[in-house]
Amino acid sequence: MRIFVGGCSGVGKTTLLQSVKQKDLNIIHATSSFMLWLGIKNDYEALRKLPDPERERLLNQFMQELVSKSDSFVLDSHYSIMINGKVKNSINGWVKSMDAFVLITAPCEVIFKRIKNDSSRERALFPEFASEQDKLNLLQFFQDHLRAQSKELSYSLDKPYYELTNVDDIETSAEKLINFITSQNS
C-alpha cells in the first residue's frame, strides 16, 4: 500500500509521522529524500533556488524511481507548496501510483504558531511584508486549496481519502492515522 500524506508546512506531518514510524511502517520523508538524492542534504534554500521546470523534472524523476522500488510506504510529502505566498503544484504523473490520500489539517492559528516557534528552518511561505492577518488568510487559502486538490485526486483516481485534523495530542492523532492506514491494508 502506497499512502500519500500531505498538508501545508507547519501542520505537523513530519512530527505525526515520526510517531507513526515507531509502528513498523515504512515512512519516507519526500523532501529530505529528494534533497539527499540531489546531493543538497537539508539545504532548503538550494532547493528553492532551482528553477521551477528543473525542480519539477527532477522531482518527477525522483518520485518515479521511488515508486518503482517499493509498493508499500507512507509518503510524507506535499500536494502543493507555498513559497512567498505563491502556490506551486508538487505532484505529477507518479501520483497515480498512490493507493490512498491523506490530508493533515489544523486551524490556521495553530499552524501559524507552530511555524513561528520552529526555528529549525526558514520556510519562506509568506511574502516578505505580509501582516500577521495576511499570513493567516494565506494559510486558510492554501489549506482550502490543498483540501480541494487532495479530494480531486482521490475522486479522479478512485482512491480512498482521509482528512485528519491534527489538534489532538500526538498519540491520539497518530492512532487515528494508523487506524486509517491499517484499514487500507486489510
Q: Nearest CA to 83 among 131, 49, 110, 111?
A: 49
Residue type, 25: L
Greater confidence, 120 or 66? 66
Q: State residue 23's pLDDT score.
A: 66
Angle between helices 30-38 and 52-69 (to 10 degrees): 110
Q: What are the extents of the domains in the chain?
A: 2-185
- Residues 128 and 84: beta-carbon distance below 8 Å: yes
Q: Taking 80 as the threshold, does the pLDDT of residue 168 lie above it? A: no
Mean pLDDT of 94-110: 94
- Residues 58 and 90: beta-carbon distance below 8 Å: no
- The 3-state DSSP class for residue 81 equals strand
User: How many angstroms separate the Cα of 74 from the Cα of each of 39, 44, 97, 111, 112?
Assistant: 23, 22, 12, 22, 25
- Residues 77 and 32: beta-carbon distance below 8 Å: no
Q: State residue 72's pLDDT score.
A: 87
Q: Taking 70 as the threshold, does the pLDDT of residue 169 lie above it? A: yes
To the nearest whole number, what is the mean pLDDT of the chain?
89
Single pTM value for the model: 0.90
Q: Nearest CA to 52 among 7, 94, 83?
A: 83
Q: Which CATH architecture has domain 2-185?
A: 3-Layer(aba) Sandwich (3.40)
pLDDT tens by residue, 103-152: 999 999 999 998 888 877 777 889 989 999 999 999 999 999 999 999 99
167 Cβ contact list (under 8 Å, min separation 6): 106, 107, 110, 173
Q: State residue 21's pLDDT score.
A: 66
